[in-house]
Amino acid sequence: MKKTVYIVLAIFAFLLVALIATPFIFKDKIIERVDREIAQSVNAQVHYDFRNISLSVFKRFPDISMTLRDFGITGNPPFQNDTLVHVDQFQVDFNLWSVLFADTPSLTGIHLDGGSIYVKVLEDGRANYDITYPSQVEETSESNFEIGVDLIEVNNLTFIYDDRELDYFMALGNVQLAGKGNFTADVYQLPLKMEALIADITYEGTNYLRNKDFKGNTTVDVDMGNMKFAFSDGDFSLNDFLFDLYGFVAMPASDIEFDLNFEGKDNSFRSILSLVPGIYSESFAGLKTSGTMDFNGFFRGIYNDSSFPAFDINLNVVDGMFQYPDLPRPVSDVQLAMQVVNTTDNLDFTKVNIPTFSLNFGSNPISGNLLLENLVTYDIDGRLVGKLNLEELTSIFPIDGMALRGMLDVNATAKGRYDSINNMIPAINAKMLLSNGYIKSSEYPAPIENLNVSANIINSSGKMADFLMDLSNFGFELEDEAISGNLKVADFDLLKWDGAVKGTIDLGKMMAIFPMENTIMEGKISADLNTKGSYKDVELERFDRLDTRGEMSVEQFYFTSYDLPQGIRINEAKADFTPSRINLTKFDSRVGESPLTATGFLSNYMNFFLKENETLKGQLALQSNRFNVNQWMTESESTEENSLTVIELPTNIDFTMSVDAAEVIYDNLNLKQVKGNMTLKEGVLSFREASMAALGGQLVMNGSYDPRDLTAPKFDFNFNVIDLSIAEAFDKLNTVKVLAPVAEHLTGKFSTKLDFSGLLGQDMMPILSSLDGKGVVRVLEAAFQNSPLIQGVTSLTRLNDTNTLQFRNLNLPIEIEDGMLSLKPVDLRLWDYQANVQGSTGFDGSINYLVNMQVPVGRFGAQANNLLATISGTEATTSTLIPVAITLGGTYGSPKVGLAGGNSIESLLTNALRSRVSSERENLQARATEQFKATEDSIKSELKTRAEALQDSAKREAEKKVSETKDRAVEEAKNVLKGVLGNRVRPAAKPDTVKRDTTNSGNN
């Protein structure tokens, strides 16, 4: 018996050891198989570290489980900076036998624990989740996985869906999901559980859900053959609102068919109240509630480009009441009946009917009703009546640190149809009166008081011409300052107005009472304005019929915010208004760190403020002692090394500006005595006779900066440069460093008249490969010394006196095309020798020049004299000119200096001395020039191809940077998720960039 027990135990031990050892014995084979399948299936960067991979047969025996930690997928361009998936822990289960011995490994389970998914769809429809290879690839690249998943588990996942093609955005946090089913079958049941925080759902700029807890538990009947998904009875909830959802969704073709029914499961007023923003908070649990609720409806029909499903949504509340703990008064007697219905396939025929709406704010009743027949003719029948004692609000709602007083009385009715063709609007009789208003914040010692508003909207006939809105009184007082105004608008078609505003408002006091996050605003604004006119006169530009007069002043104004960290301070500003223009008589300010004063006027301002697509025109004279442009061209002040960014210009402004600045800081340039004229029109900034002292000389420029395409901002200038320092130009201007590297070893001054154009990068620096230009560079006197070019020529030719070059009265004709600077053949003297120089410098730093020199034989020293003695019958003397063709290649810092044709200096002298005829010498240089031009044409062609590629790359990079504006909304959503979730989940998902130093990375 004992022997049998020992044998059984030994067999069991052997099997246990085998089970433990199997994953490690076959680990390399399994990992190799997974890598191969990833490479064949996934067109993206898959990041994982094999050291973070563990294998086990015990988690889901008899399947083998592979667990990856810190696993991620990053897209290929244009999604190379977007992490599609990052998972803290990812487990997949395989059928062990299929992995080791079958041709098709079988996937049986997926488990995701902690991480984030970011789905992004661009405006053109490209999506970062499209990471599989297209079907037309060769059969050998197709995946061999067999999917037999019977369990999917997800825990603590953040999910963001950012569809810019549909203008749809959804952010979910703390996603928990569990589902089981036979996924390989065509028809199966899928029990499904899900929990998530709905942080944001926004469609076409309208937010539909925010900060709502969702839970769902249902069974989905899946019919993959017909792409039909049916929902049986289930439990769903948003916050405390419980509802049921049943029916089906089918996608047999391009259309989507819906047949869904829904209804509330908890018929209490408390459940619907949990969806009201601001009420569902930490104090909601202690909220006293009563009353009943009924919610039901359906969503049924076909959805496609031309059809929308019919729907019927009903909500009824009876005898609702809620009261905050520790507050004496409730909101009571809430009665609501609402139906939103559309029995057609056209959304325009949606009907909204609210026959009953009433409630009591403490002792203040409010009631109303609304019937909107459709969204075409807008037939409406509505009423809202109520009185509200503002003081009671603080005893109903927890309004910390705020005291309110005053009576608000509203009585409004509207009935009829809006018909712009027949000049009809609903008959309206609306009155609103706020009397003796009082607002006192604990953050400021003085209250806003005597807050009064009296407004009436009357149109008894329903005709547009009889419309009248009369804001007969508006005003309030804050300490010793008051503001008051009135406004009448008559005739809904002509929109005749007559209004006035007078008084002073202290912005600092208002901000103390009504603070704005990340914003500081101070100063006083005073106004005494009267205005009278009609919108019809504005449309017809009959400005003589408009009468707007008065003045406005600003004192000690200061504004800074998250989006404007530089800050703007206006010490004093005054403007007076006339019907035709606003005259700016004084403007003393500091924008960021730069003082700025201005005078001038604005015209067409009524059109600009009242009509769309109008242009604000004006003339301004700007003065500054010191203006730092860099401060307004950086994204943030917090980074140590701020990079400049493209300045976007408004297209609806037509300004002519004269500028007079003692000093301007731009990039690393310090510009003095900056004067000139600028015109901003249609989004293009033009410069006319803009002069400045810079780089030891004077510069005058005319031209334009055009950023209308933010991905490819353009510039086109004409420069007149007078006596600029060559050394300073090399030190400060990157373009000079690249296209004229010889300036590094030149001392002296230069002048030029140069046409110069190209594209700017997102750092506002020229894209070198895009540069074009033409002009003549004039050098009065310069010294060229200690250059590697001189050293190369000296080493090659061993000529005397070649350590230093002196230039005088040079005129160098240059052309720039696609970032290549070409020097046309120019005659000059190098040392004491007559020479002709031509060639080019590329945007990549490459040089290619030919120097044809005429050098007396005697200058070559003893080697020339020895050759003269050996050549019998020669007529040459020490003064005979020898043609020397020198090629300069490589880069300026590492030049390649050689003789044309590959000659040595000895063979060059021998051949030249034997060529006694001048024409033969000229032929030698002509052949050298011909060979050089052939080489240069090849180099130019290659550089042009590279320039086009670099410009395309720069544009793609710019498009990516421009899209980062929208990406900020995604980052804000991620931050909101982190803030809202708080301690409810484990640490937030990894940043949206996966580390690249992982051991294994599928570079597909």
User: pLDDT band for position 317 (50/70/90)?
Assistant: very high
Other Cβ atoms closer than 10 A to 154: 21
Please compute the mean of the pLDDT values over residues 318-331 and round it to a whole number.
Answer: 87
Q: Which residue do the tokens 């004067």 mark?
A: 675
pLDDT for residue 342 is more than 90: yes
pLDDT for residue 970 is more than 60: no
- The one-letter code for the residue type at 183 is F
Condensed to tens digits (0 to 9), the pLDDT of residues 230-266 reads 988 788 888 888 888 889 999 888 888 999 998 988 7
Condensed to tens digits (0 to 9), the pLDDT of residues 124-140 reads 888 888 877 665 444 44
Q: Provide the whole-model pTM.
A: 0.65
DSSP 372: E
pLDDT of residue 989: 35
pLDDT for residue 982 is more than 60: no
Range of lowest pLDDT (502-516, 637-651, 974-988): 974-988
For residue 186, give the 3-state DSSP assignment.
Answer: coil
Answer whether 582's CB lies under 8 Å from 599's CB. Answer: no
* pLDDT, greater one: 415 or 921: 415
pLDDT of residue 210: 82
User: Which range, 684-693, 792-801, 970-979, has the best average confidence (pLDDT)?
Assistant: 684-693
pLDDT of residue 910: 67
User: pLDDT band for position 926 (50/70/90)?
Assistant: low
Tell me the H-state helices in 379-486. Answer: 390-396
Answer whether 592's CB lies under 8 Å from 632's CB. Answer: yes
User: pLDDT band for position 988 (50/70/90)?
Assistant: very low
Answer whether 62's CB lies under 8 Å from 93's CB. Answer: no
Please compute the mean of the pLDDT values over residues 159-174 and round it to a whole number.
Answer: 86
User: pLDDT band for position 340 (50/70/90)?
Assistant: very high
DSSP 136: T
pLDDT of residue 943: 55
Strand 653-666 to 616-624 pairing? parallel
pLDDT for residue 146 is more than 70: no
Burial class (CB in 10 A: 0-12, 13-18, 19+), 206: exposed
Burial class (CB in 10 A: 0-12, 13-18, 19+), 308: buried
pLDDT for residue 992 is more than 70: no
Tell me how far apart the alpha carbons of residues 94 and 148 are, in angstroms, rounded to a whole number: 9
pLDDT of residue 310: 94
* pLDDT, greater one: 606 or 59: 606
pLDDT of residue 475: 93
User: pLDDT band for position 424 (50/70/90)?
Assistant: confident
Answer whether 351's CB lies under 8 Å from 338's CB. Answer: no
Question: Which has the closest alpha carbon to 717: 773, 648, 657?
Answer: 773
User: Which range, 19-33, 787-801, 880-894, has the best average confidence (pLDDT)?
Assistant: 880-894
Please compute the mean of the pLDDT values over residues 425-438 and round it to a whole number.
Answer: 92
Tell me how far apart the alpha carbons of residues 504 and 476 are, in angstroms, rounded to a whole number: 10
Tell me how far apart the alpha carbons of residues 941 and 933 are, in angstroms, rounded to a whole number: 12
pLDDT of residue 831: 75
* pLDDT, greater one: 142 or 109: 109
Please compute the mean of the pLDDT values over residues 639-663 and round it to a whole number.
Answer: 76
Q: Which residue do the tokens 């046309």 mark?
A: 824
User: pLDDT band for position 4 (50/70/90)?
Assistant: very low
Tell me how far apart the alpha carbons of residues 768 and 757 are, in angstroms, rounded to a whole number: 10
pLDDT of residue 987: 33
User: pLDDT band for position 408 (50/70/90)?
Assistant: very high
Tell me how far apart the alpha carbons of residues 495 and 232 are, in angstroms, rounded to a whole number: 56
Answer whether 230's CB lies under 8 Å from 241's CB. Answer: no
pLDDT for residue 470 is more than 90: yes
Tell me how far apart the alpha carbons of residues 568 and 594 are, in angstroms, rounded to a whole number: 9
pLDDT for residue 519 is more than 50: yes
Question: Which has the closest alpha carbon to 463: 432, 424, 491?
Answer: 424
Please compute the mean of the pLDDT values over residues 784-789 and round it to a whole number.
Answer: 81
Q: Encoding tokens for residue 818?
A: 């696609």
pLDDT of residue 98: 57
Tell me how far apart the alpha carbons of residues 738 and 892 are, in angstroms, rounded to a whole number: 10
Answer whether 415's CB lies under 8 Å from 369's CB. Answer: no
Reply yes or no: is the peptide bond before residue 62 cis, omega within 30 of 0. Answer: yes
Tell me how far apart the alpha carbons of residues 523 and 521 are, in angstroms, rounded to a whole number: 7
Q: Encoding tokens for residue 349?
A: 């025929």
DSSP 134: P
pLDDT for residue 940 is more than 90: no
Beta bridge partners of 456: 431, 470
- The one-letter code for the residue type at 206 is T
Tell me how far apart the alpha carbons of residues 317 and 134 are, in angstroms, rounded to a whole number: 54
Other Cβ atoms closer than 10 A to 3: 7
Tell me how far apart the alpha carbons of residues 614 and 608 are, in angstroms, rounded to a whole number: 5
User: pLDDT band for position 615 (50/70/90)?
Assistant: confident
For residue 901, give the 3-state DSSP assignment.
Answer: helix
User: pLDDT band for position 861 (50/70/90)?
Assistant: low
Beta bridge partners of 179: 152, 192
User: pLDDT band for position 17 (50/70/90)?
Assistant: very low
User: Which range, 193-197, 560-564, 978-982, has the best average confidence (pLDDT)?
Assistant: 193-197
Vertex 477 angle, CA 475 and 478, to 5°: 140
pLDDT of residue 125: 83
pLDDT for residue 270 is more than 90: no
Range of lowest pLDDT (327-331, 677-681, 897-901): 897-901
pLDDT of residue 964: 54
Range of lowest pLDDT (7-16, 357-366, 609-618): 7-16
Condensed to tens digits (0 to 9), the pLDDT of residues 217-232 reads 888 888 888 888 898 8
Instruction: List the beta strands (DSSP E) in 517-567.
Output: 519-534, 547-561
For residue 349, give the 3-state DSSP assignment.
Answer: helix
Beta bridge partners of 151: 109, 180
For residue 539, give the 3-state DSSP assignment.
Answer: helix
Range of lowest pLDDT (117-126, 206-215, 634-643): 634-643
Q: Encoding tokens for residue 381?
A: 């029948």
Torsion of CA 679, 681, 685, 691, to 10 degrees: -10
Tell me the CB-side half-sphere exposure of residue 604, using CA atoms within 13 A.
16
Please compute the mean of the pLDDT values over residues 948-972 and round it to a whole number.
Answer: 54
pLDDT of residue 637: 43
Beta bridge partners of 487: 471, 499
pLDDT of residue 184: 67
The percent of the chain in helix, strand and coil, each rounded to the nearest 5, is: 20, 50, 25
Answer whether 437's CB lies under 8 Å from 450's CB. Answer: yes
pLDDT of residue 411: 94
Beta bridge partners of 439: 404, 448
Q: Give kind and range of the element (H or E) at residue 838.
A: strand 833-841
Question: Which has the closest alpha carbon to 262: 292, 230, 299?
Answer: 299
pLDDT of residue 431: 94
The set of residues, in sequence order, having a beta carbon less than 8 Å from that of 758 and lying 6+ positions away, is 714, 715, 766, 767, 770, 771, 772
Buried b (16+ CB within 10 A) or exposed e, 33-59: bbeeebebbbebbbbbbeeebbbbbeb
Please compute the mean of the pLDDT values over residues 671-675 and round it to a whole number.
Answer: 90
Range of lowest pLDDT (104-113, 211-220, 309-318, 669-678): 104-113
Burial class (CB in 10 A: 0-12, 13-18, 19+), 305: exposed
For residue 769, give the 3-state DSSP assignment.
Answer: helix
CA distances from 671 to 627, 686, 687, 710 (A): 10, 18, 16, 26
pLDDT of residue 202: 86
Tell me how far apart the alpha carbons of residues 44 and 46 are, in angstroms, rounded to a whole number: 6
pLDDT for residue 15 is more than 60: no
- Dihedral sign for Cα atoms in the order 107, 110, 116, 121: positive
pLDDT of residue 638: 41
pLDDT for residue 756 is more than 60: yes
* Mean pLDDT rounded to a whole number for the chain: 78
Task: Output phi, psi for 508, to 5 deg.
Answer: -65, -40
Question: Which has the closest alpha carbon to 398: 320, 319, 321, 328?
Answer: 328
Answer whether 768's CB lies under 8 Å from 757's CB. Answer: no
Tell me how far apart the alpha carbons of residues 739 and 716 are, in angstroms, rounded to a whole number: 18
pLDDT for residue 375 is more than 60: yes
User: pLDDT band for position 316 (50/70/90)?
Assistant: very high
The set of residues, in sequence order, having a beta carbon less than 8 Å from that of 7 and lying 6+ positions away, is none
pLDDT for residue 635 is more than 70: no
pLDDT of residue 6: 37
Question: Which has the closest alpha carbon to 123: 171, 168, 83?
Answer: 168
Reply yes or no: is the peptide bond before residue 105 cis, omega within 30 of 0. Answer: no
